[in-house]
A = this chain, B = another copy of it.
Amino acid sequence: MNRIILSAALCLCAVAATAQVKEDFVPSPNNQPGKQYPMVNSERCVRVQVKAPDAKSVKLDIGGVKYDLVKDAEGVWTGESAPQDEGFHYYQLNIDGADVPDPSSLYYYGASRWGSGIDVPAADQDFYALKNVPQGQMREIYYWSEVNQAMRHCFVYTPADYDVNKDKRYPVLYLQHGGGENEYGWPQQGRTAQIMDNLIADGKAVPFIIVMENGSWTMPRPAGGAPAMQRPQGQRPPQGGQRPQGGRPQGGFGMPSNWADGFANTLIKDCIPYIDSHFRTIADKEHRAMAGLSMGGMQTKAITVAHPEVFSNLGIFSGGTITVDDTKNNPEFAKGLKLVFVSFGSRELENRVAGFGDGTDPRQETEALAASGVNAHFYVSPGTAHEWQSWRRALYQFAQLLFK
């Protein structure tokens, strides 16, 4: 039923795209240097352009819909999408049947690939804008994992005063991406450093460290994979069937079979000890949080419920809820809980997409949890779906509640 409604909506958008579009397109803020395309207009339509003089067909593939481009006399193809939601979207081009990145965009990892992304201006974009405020640092680190028998890669955000107050210790948030994404998601499309720097400069959040690891890469690498020593930054060995395949899942998460247990081992046995020994953390559960989006939210619930000795604070963005039953069934977990934050995009909440088609209402569940005495908060991102604008806003809200 929900699928029928969704399909009908997509058809309407596709029809809309062929109608007159408003000619106030401006270059996207995340084009490659010097590139005029892709562009976005005030109706949030995305227009792309690519030179393909010998091609028979070129399409723009965004939001699950393919839009035909039109060729001019010089062999340059141009065309636009229907209006998109505010915020970040993955997309690609299709040239004579080949799915390829747009050579004019910057690239992001999502839908299980490095590919094109575009940021559609949003009314509230100021909260994730790069501003001249005291700047934290996004640190890229590698560390040895006994669980994986390999060097692992993650990002660590340190707030601006971390290098000023050389003896101060900080709480830590472990912040996870979704299915088909990786540890680059929060630093890049999530705009974590900008959100945090702005919040801290405004006095709305206390300074804390944020660690962003790869929740999809949780097993020892297979024998015969490329030796670790040859791998450049950001690259991972072949994953076999462990890594989510295909695009962003529709009505499922495409998660690796070990999505929670495997990552829990990595996180608790290797990652947290490394962070606590190499950064000035406050290394107790009251000053440690885990949060994540979609698959990362489900990992957050599984790991924090199973390890109340490690975490007292958690955030689930578009990835489920904590219910009163969860606390009743896990008394140790319930006893230590300091903060529960649950969020959804308004349109995914309405449509119960993303696996929540069971009729339960996350808002009611969270309100019931709060009524039972837990410090629980529910947030809905207005006008957004299962997408990064929902999660940027979720981090913005969650960070203001955390470690206070």
**Which residues of A line the B interface, CB within 8 A?**
26-27, 29-34, 36, 50-58, 75, 92-93, 95-101, 103, 106-107, 112-115, 119, 121, 125-126, 129-132, 135, 137-144, 151, 156, 163, 166, 182, 187-189, 191, 193, 217, 226-236, 238-240, 243, 245, 278-279
Measured CA separation A278–B159 after assembly (Å): 13
Measured CA separation A328–B143 after assembly (Å): 49
Measured CA separation A31–B156 after assembly (Å): 24
Question: Looking at the complex, which one of B51, B129, B232 makes contact with A98 (CB distance below 8 Å)?
Answer: B51
Given A103-B115, A243-B33, are A279 and B229 also a contact pair (CB < 8 Å)?
Answer: no
Given A33-B243, A103-B115, A163-B279, are A55 and B98 also a contact pair (CB < 8 Å)?
Answer: yes
Q: Are A132 and B106 in contact (CB under 8 A)?
A: no
Q: List 14 A-B contacts (CB under 8 A).
A: A29-B230, A30-B235, A33-B112, A34-B240, A50-B98, A53-B97, A98-B103, A101-B101, A119-B232, A135-B142, A139-B140, A188-B232, A188-B233, A193-B233
Counting every copy of the chain, the complex holds 2
Measured CA separation A139–B226 after assembly (Å): 26
Q: Are B278 and A163 in contact (CB under 8 A)?
A: yes
Q: Are B107 and A103 in contact (CB under 8 A)?
A: no
Seed contacts A99-B103, A135-B142; 5 additional CB < 8 Å A-B pairs: A50-B100, A58-B98, A92-B103, A100-B101, A137-B156
- Minimum CB distance partner of A233 in chain B: B188
- Minimum CB distance partner of A225 in chain B: B27
Q: Are A137 and B141 in contact (CB under 8 A)?
A: yes
Measured CA separation A101–B227 after assembly (Å): 25
In angstroms, how far is the closest chain B Cβ from the Cβ of A182? 8
Q: Are A114 and B121 in contact (CB under 8 A)?
A: no
Question: Looking at the complex, which one of B52, B93, B106 makes contact with A96 (CB distance below 8 Å)?
Answer: B52
A96, A126, A138, A236 — most chain B CB neighbours (10 Å): A96
Q: Are B132 and A97 in contact (CB under 8 A)?
A: no
Q: Are A55 and B97 in contact (CB under 8 A)?
A: yes
Question: Looking at the complex, which one of B29, B98, B229 makes contact with A52 (CB distance below 8 Å)?
Answer: B98
Question: Looking at the complex, which one of B30, B54, B92, B95 makes contact with A231 (CB distance below 8 Å)?
Answer: B30
A239 proximity list for chain B (CB < 8 A)? 33-34
Given A106-B114, A142-B135, A230-B125, are A34 and B100 also a contact pair (CB < 8 Å)?
Answer: no
- Minimum CB distance partner of A141 in chain B: B137
A278 proximity list for chain B (CB < 8 A)? 163
Measured CA separation A245–B34 after assembly (Å): 9
Question: Looking at the complex, which one of B107, B140, B217 makes contact with A138 (CB distance below 8 Å)?
Answer: B140
A245 proximity list for chain B (CB < 8 A)? 34
Question: Looking at the complex, which one of B54, B187, B229 makes contact with A57 (CB distance below 8 Å)?
Answer: B54
Q: Are A233 and B187 in contact (CB under 8 A)?
A: yes
Q: Are B54 and A54 in contact (CB under 8 A)?
A: no
- Minimum CB distance partner of A137 in chain B: B139
Given A29-B231, A132-B151, A230-B29, are A96 and B96 also a contact pair (CB < 8 Å)?
Answer: yes
Question: Looking at the complex, which one of B34, B54, B139 makes contact with A238 (CB distance below 8 Å)?
Answer: B34
A227 proximity list for chain B (CB < 8 A)? 129
A103 proximity list for chain B (CB < 8 A)? 92, 98-101, 113, 115
The 10 closest A-B pairs by CB, nearest first: A129-B229, A52-B98, A29-B230, A54-B97, A53-B97, A54-B96, A55-B96, A138-B140, A100-B100, A33-B236
A107 proximity list for chain B (CB < 8 A)? 101, 107, 114
A32 proximity list for chain B (CB < 8 A)? 113-114
